[in-house]
Structure 1
Amino acid sequence: MIDSNATSSLCPVCGKPNDCAYQDAGSNRMCWCFSVTIKAESLRKIPESVRGKACLCRCCAQADPASNE
């Protein structure tokens, strides 16, 4: 996991860009996360200190809960 002081444009689990449309102030596009189902197991991997502050990347959001990512 990455540092809890990570920016909101990075995935709090793997540290890669999360491609959040809402972090791109000039974007008029819908965020990718509105078109996928994110499992509760994936959400539990987010460190509590950054919950609600940083979004998962697509890979971590859709990862097999049994995997380390």
Structure 2
Amino acid sequence: MTEVNLCPGCSQPNQCAFSLGQPADTCWCMQGAPDQPSTEKLPLPIKAASCYCSRCLKKLKDEKKRLEGQIDQ
């Protein structure tokens, strides 16, 4: 497995369809399922050539919401 297939947050497989040579629109992050975190307005991975896995992306999204809630108060 190459580095592009590993999540920069946890180093586990990120299940990125595009990095596996499949069309980007077939990736889990592009499917728009309600239980999948959106990538909108989240920081890019340190290594921008790799994607976060769904678990780390959810953690980032939750942390972003938590921080925004603190700032808004």
**TM-score normalised by structure 1 residue count:** 0.61
Structure 2: give runs of 5+ residues left out of the alignment.
Answer: 33-37, 67-73
The percent of aligned pairs where both chains have the same amino acid is: 29
2:13 aligns to what SS in structure 1?
coil
Q: What aligned pairs does 1:52-67 form with structure 2 within 5 A after superposition?
A: 53-63=49-59, 64-65=62-63
How large is the Cα RMSD of the aligned pairs?
2.4
**TM-score normalised by structure 2 residue count:** 0.59
1:35 equivalenced with 2:31 (yes/no) = yes
2:30 aligns to what SS in structure 1?
helix
Question: Deviating runs (4+, > 4 A) in structure 1?
Answer: none
Aligned residue pairs total 55
Give the distance between the partners of 2:57 and 2:31, measured in 1 at CA: 12
Structure 1: give runs of 5+ residues left out of the alignment.
Answer: 1-5
TM-superposition CA deviations, 1:26-47 (whole Å, max 9, x none): x46700111341254xx43722
The residue that corresponds to 2:4 in the other structure is: 8
The structure with the greater share of residues assigned to helix is 2
